[in-house]
A and B are shown apart, each in its own frame.
Chain A
Amino acid sequence: MSTIEKPDSGPDIASGRLSPADYAANFTDLHPPLDPHEALVEADRCYFCYDAPCTIACPTSIDIPMFIRKIATGNVDGAADTIFSANILGGMCARVCPTETLCEEACVRNTAEEKPVRIGLLQRHATDHYMAGHRTWGSRKPATGRRVAVVGAGPAGLACAHGLAMEGHDVTIFEAREKAGGLNEHGIATYKTVDDFAAYEVDFVTGIGGIEIRSGTALGRDVRLADLRRDYDAVFLGLGLQAVNALGLDGEAIEGVVDAVDWIERLRQAADKSTVPVGRRVVVIGGGMTAVDAAVQARKLGAREVVMAYRRGPEQMNASEYERQVAQVHGVTIRFFAEPRAILTSSGRLAGVEFETTRLGEGGRLERTGERFMVEADQVMKAIGQVFVPGPVAAEALALDGNRILVDDEGRTSLDKVWAGGDCVRGGEDLTVVAVEHGKQAARSIHAMLSA
């Protein structure tokens, strides 16, 4: 830990920096939904491509040209049918998917005029329309009497549960937290999912029936995997990630240095955003979507200066160019090729971060240059990735690959009758839509096993 001499009363971290009106304005929809006219105009732009590149780019393979054509012909609920049949969390995915790197990046309109069809907003139009008039989607086949345990009520677990419930199986979801939804509920920026949408969607998904959620029930603490394997016909693990990577610097535990994921969760769960403290000057360390969400929301809470520092360049960044633009539009300064080397303190309290500049050397290897600079900060948010902690399943003979659970193409783990999906498995891309696909595919595989 280094110190800098500065007569200072300590870091300025405070809540209530803004007027009530500012809080209200800052935490509404970042992208307002399309109104019916806008949706028709946008739907008209779709070419109804053959073997559509957008559908290929969608991890859940939503038949995008078909749902857009249904919007264009006035069959908006039918459009939602097309979406939900491929992705039961199509409502949330419409809000949080990085469409600019998925369906919309693949849109042939990019080639034609560098302006893709706004697929995400059209999907939201259709799913919002449907969800406003229906309490669930799909119907259950006759009960099979088979029981499946799903661990984790995040996107993977919910998608798996819905798929199994449709087939007539009974599902019990074990969720460690009090609220279901996983990162949709706890980890995504507030302005992407307003009006408690994540909770609303959980009700929508489970509204099909045959799904029981036992919240506050943690694997390893309240239930054991071995018991679930004994008591249920199959088990799906949608555990997510449990810990945030550490910077590995002295002083990381000092007051004012926080995990971005925790800070975002607190903000999401705060009914009154004016109660959430934020630093006057904030440094966010990391280059992913969590870093962007934290940086932008820090600004929205009234932080004067927000610097987002990433040790590599824009090409290597997980956050898309579009996400970077969102950050920059909101006044976030992005510093590339800046690696944190020391937490700076003054009188024993947080004062800033010292960085060393880096560059890409031979073979794309990151090199330090020896040049250092300081950024003063009242608050530091760590967003350098999350890790899977196998704790609760470590006791079982569950094979890992790297640091995550090893699964095959259908989501089967090395344990009999146990499937896994979402961020906790190898190959997870830390995206809601990928987790939904894992859950969907696992449900198919489990159903095939149960029907055999």
Chain B
Amino acid sequence: MADLRTNFLGIKSPNPFWLASAPPTDKKYNVVRAFQAGWGGVVWKTLGEDPPIVNVNGPRYGAIHAGDRRLIGFNNIELITDRPLEANLREIAETKKEWPDRALVVSLMVPCEESNWTAIVRRVEETGADGIELNFGCPHGMSERGMGSAVGQVPEYIEMVARWCKASTRMPVIVKLTPNITDIRYPARAAHAGGADAVSLINTISSIMGVDLDTFAPAPSIDGKGSHGGYCGPAVKPVALNMVAEIARDPATRGMPISGIGGVTTWKDAAEFIALGCGTVQVCTAAMTYGFRIVQEMIDGLSDWMDSKGYASIEDFRGRAVPNVTDWQFLNLNYVTKARIDQDLCIKCGRCHIACEDTSHQAITAMKEGVRHFEVIDEECVGCNLCVTVCPVENCITMEQLTAGTDPRTGKPIETTYANWTTHPNNPMAKVAAE
């Protein structure tokens, strides 16, 4: 049985599954239910200064659905906690006392003055909470008041606030980053420079979920108007994985602890974030979609997979994927693949054919000897993987590497050596001149 315990900045939790700072962690009632369900930790919903902010009284959430109304993307225009600071601090203290084995980190957002940050950090410290997370991420509402992503988009502010907080508390400081920025490495470097112990990412992405074609109001809409909200859920996972990877492999921040956030829905998602270096993962949308009980699938799935791979602890595989994230210019151009269609699994829907025929390389038949038949034409196949992605049957189409002979498309011999763009004869900037 794999050991799922984590020690993130000295904050211990029985498993790497934390609930992210969000509606599910707004009060003790929810957090206790989450702990009862098995969550390893929570980041308490962002505290601010009194008087409490107010929320809209209409829809706060919007979503996009895949088939069968499966929620794949979610957004919100909810602000930070709208409960009095005192109430939250009291409940945080009670909860930590009752659940000492769980991680309890508190998210914070106050105006960008040292005194404001110092004051609230000290109040939180008194609760016995394990750490703080600086919310520099929320893209909606609070950013208009100079907080949230308005801070996260300016690396100098990140560094400054992180430094104030580190100076005022014994607690570990996590900086939560906004993805609404061109290059995520800059804010991460700033957090590192400011002395932050870790970064967590991604926060939500600025978004409009749709437009009502009867009223022409954006969704979610309040009295016919809409404001961009924060986008999250399964659809943002690829964005999050990339940003996590960029930080994990950046020489300036390499080794800095990361709490991964963004579309974590199953144990596999969590394992992928951990493989890219994350010490814990944070979850929100999946819980808001299915309830807290999903953590049991996550725990069990991760544990079983680790057992099957012989990983005794999270550290055994954490970061294993980081060295494999590289620049395009270093990809092996001698690696040649061809699609292979398993005729026993093929249901003959023909989507691979029409996708390839209409939009790619005309490399899949529709007919063979007068019979409906889908087969790859190696002379045309560039190995692009489009057919694999559109096939409705899992593992029916796979990519096979050619390891010998010639590529029927190019007529060139298959090279077993590694060669990339930096030395390619077509590259005017090639480091080694072609012979």
> Which residues of A are at the interface with B, using a C-beta cutoff of 8 A?
40-41, 44-45, 47-53, 72, 108-109, 111-112
Q: Which residues of B contact A109 (CB under 8 A)?
A: 347
Task: Please tell me if the beta carbons of A112 and B393 are within 8 angstroms of each other in the complex.
Answer: yes
Check A108 against B347 for contact (C-beta < 8 Å): yes
Q: Is B27 an interface residue (CB 8 A)?
A: no
Please give, as numbers and ranges, the residues of chain A lying within 8 Å of B349 by CB-CB distance. Answer: 47, 49-50, 108
Q: Mark each residue of chain B from 324 to 353: 1 if its CB lies under 8 Å from any CB of chain A, else 0.
A: 000000000000000000000011111101
Residues of A within 8 A of B347 (CB): 108-109, 111-112
Bound complex: CA of A111 vs CA of B348, how far in Å? Answer: 8
- Interface flag for B435 (CB, 8 Å): no
Is there contact, CB below 8 Å, between A44 and B67? yes
Provide the main secondary structure of the chain A interface. loop
Which residues of the partner chain A approach B354 to less than 8 Å between Cβ atoms? 50
With a cutoff of 8 Å between Cβ atoms, the chain B residues found around residue A112 in the complex are 347, 392-393
Interface size class of B (residues with CB under 8 A): 10 to 19
Chain A residues within an 8 Å CB radius of B392: 47, 112
List 22 A-B pairs, Cβ < 8 Å: A44-B67, A44-B68, A45-B67, A47-B349, A47-B351, A47-B392, A49-B349, A49-B350, A49-B351, A50-B350, A50-B353, A50-B354, A50-B366, A51-B372, A52-B350, A53-B348, A53-B372, A108-B348, A108-B349, A111-B346, A111-B347, A112-B392
Provide the B259-275 mask, 1 if CB < 8 A to any CB of A, else 0.
00000000000000000
B351-370 interface bits toward A, Cβ cutoff 8 Å, 1 = contact, 0 = none: 10110000000000010000
Q: Contacts A41-B68, A44-B67, A44-B68 known; A51 to B393 CB distance under 8 Å?
A: no
- Residue in A41, A50, A53, A111 whose beta carbon sits within 8 Å of that of B351 in the complex: A50
Q: Given contact pairs A50-B354, A51-B366, enumerate 9 new A-B contacts (beta carbons under 8 Å).
A: A41-B68, A44-B67, A45-B67, A50-B351, A50-B366, A51-B350, A52-B350, A108-B348, A111-B347
CA distance A41 to B70 in the complex (A): 11
Q: Which residues of B contact A41 (CB under 8 A)?
A: 68
A164 to B67, CA, bound (A): 40
Among A40, A48, A112, find the residue whose CB has the most chain B CB atoms closer than 10 A.
A112
User: Once the chains are docked, how many angstroms separate the CA of A96 from the CA of B345?
Assistant: 33
Give the docked Cα–Cα distance between A60 and B219 (Å).
42
Shortest CB-to-CB span from B186 to chain A, Å, is: 42
Residues of A near B372 (CB, < 8 A) are 51, 53
Bound-state CA distance A184–B393 (Å) is: 40
**Complex: A155 Cα to B347 Cα, angstroms:** 34
B98 to chain A, nearest CB (A): 43
Chain A residue at minimum C-beta to C-beta distance from B367: A51
Query: In the assembly, what is the distance between CA of A111 and CA of B392, in Å?
Result: 12
In the complex, A47→B396 CA distance in Å?
15
* In the complex, chain B residues whose CB is within 8 Å of the CB of A48: 351
Distance, CA A108 to CA B351, complexed state (A): 11
Chain B residues with CB below 8 A from A44, complex form: 67-68
Least Cβ–Cβ distance between A139 and chain B, in angstroms: 26
Q: Mark B386-410, 1 if CB is under 8 A from A, else 0.
A: 0000001100000000000000000
CB neighbours of B348 from chain A (8 A): 49, 53, 108, 111
CA distance A47 to B351 in the complex (A): 8
Min CB gap B399→A, angstroms? 21
Closest chain B residue to A37 by CB distance?
Answer: B69
How far is A109 from B392 in the complex, measured between Cα atoms in Å? 10
User: Which of chain A's residues has its CB closest to B374's CB?
Assistant: A50
Q: Complex Cα distance A112/B347, Å?
A: 6
**B69, B346, B347, B372 interface centre (most CB from chain A within 10 Å):** B347
Kindly report which residue of chain A lies nearest to residue B354, judged by CB atoms: A50
**B49-86 vs A, Cβ < 8 Å mask (1 yes, 0 no):** 00000000000000000011100000000000000000
Nearest chain B CB to A37's CB is how many angstroms away?
9
Q: Measured between alpha carbons, how far is A98 from B393 in the docked complex, in Å? A: 28
Q: How far is the CB of A47 from chain B (nearest CB, A)?
A: 5
Determine the distance from Cα of A44 to Cα of B348 in the docked complex, in whole angstroms. Answer: 18
Q: What is the CA–CA distance of A111 and B347 in the complex, to the nearest angstrom?
A: 5
Could you tell me the distance between the alpha carbons of A51 and B69 in the complex, rounded to whole angstroms? 27
Quick one: closest A residue to B357, CB to CB?
A50
- B366 neighbours in A (Cβ, 8 Å): 50-51
Provide the residues of chain B in CB contact with A111, threshold 8 Å: 346-348
**Residues in B neighbouring A45, C-beta threshold 8 A:** 67
B87 to chain A minimum Cβ distance, whole angstroms, is 41
* A-B interface, 6 closest residue pairs, ranked by CB to CB distance from nearest: A50-B350, A44-B67, A50-B354, A111-B347, A108-B347, A49-B349
A50 to B367 alpha-carbon distance, docked (Å): 12
Contacts of A108 in B (CB 8 A): 347-349
Give the Cβ gap from A408 to chain B, nearest Cβ, in Å: 25
In the bound complex, residues from chain A placing their C-beta under 8 Å from that of B350 are 49-52
CB distance from B161 to the nearest CB of A (A): 47
Q: Tell me the complex Cα distance, A111–B393, Å.
A: 11
Residues of chain B within 8 A (CB-CB) of A72 are 67
Task: Tell me the minimal C-beta distance from A282 to chain B in angstroms.
Answer: 43
Q: Complex Cα distance A40/B392, Å?
A: 19
CB distance from B212 to the nearest CB of A (A): 13
Report the Cα distance A44→B66, complex, angstroms: 9
Tell me, rounded to whole Å, the shortest Cβ–Cβ distance linking A305 to chain B.
43
Q: Among A41, A44, A49, A50, which residue has the most Cβ atoms of chain B within 10 A?
A: A50
**Who on chain A is nearest to B364 by CB?**
A50
**B67, B349, B372 — which one has the most chain A CB atoms within 10 A of its CB?**
B349
Q: Nearest B residue to A106 by beta-carbon distance?
A: B348
**Complex-state Cα separation, A111 to B346, whole angstroms:** 8
Within 8 A of A (CB), among B370-386: 372
Instruction: Tell me the bound Cα distance from A109 to B347 in angstroms.
Output: 7
- A49–B348 Cα distance when bound, in Å, is 8
Chain A: minimal CB distance from B26 (Å): 32
Give bound CA distance, A49 to B390, whole Å: 11
Whole-angstrom CA separation of A49 from B372 in the bound complex: 12
Give the nearest-CB partner of B355 in chain A.
A50
* Chain B residues with CB below 8 A from A47, complex form: 349, 351, 392
Residues of B within 8 A of A51 (CB): 350, 366, 372
Say how far A440's CB is from chain B's closest CB, in angstroms: 25
CB distance from A76 to the nearest CB of B (A): 16
- Report how far A108 CA is from B366 CA in the complex, Å: 15
CB distance from B288 to the nearest CB of A (A): 22
The minimal Cβ–Cβ distance linking B224 to chain A, given in whole angstroms, is: 22
A109 to B346, CA, bound (A): 11
User: What's the Cα separation between A44 and B67 when bound, in Å?
Assistant: 5
CB-CB nearest in chain A for B353: A50
Whole-angstrom distance between the Cβ of A358 and the nearest chain B Cβ: 36
CA distance A19 to B319 in the complex (A): 74
A45 to chain B, nearest CB (A): 8
| Distance in Å: Cβ of A441 to nearest Cβ of chain B | 24
Q: Which residues of A contact B67 (CB under 8 A)?
A: 44-45, 72
The complex places the Cα of A97 from the Cα of B69 at a distance, in Å, of: 30
Q: How far is the CA of A406 from the CA of B83 in the complex (A)?
A: 85
- Which residue of chain B is the closest to A111 with respect to CB atoms? B347
Closest residue on chain A to residue B393 by CB atoms: A112
Q: Which chain A residue lies CB-closest to B350? A: A50
| Residue numbers in A under 8 Å from B393 (CB-CB) | 112
Chain B residue numbers with a CB within 8 Å of A40 are 69
- Closest chain-B Cβ to A46's Cβ sits at a distance in Å of 10
Residue of B nearest to A72 (CB): B67
Docked complex Cα distance between A52 and B366 (Å) = 11
Give Cα A111 to B354, complex, Å. Answer: 19
Closest residue of A by beta carbon distance from B66: A44
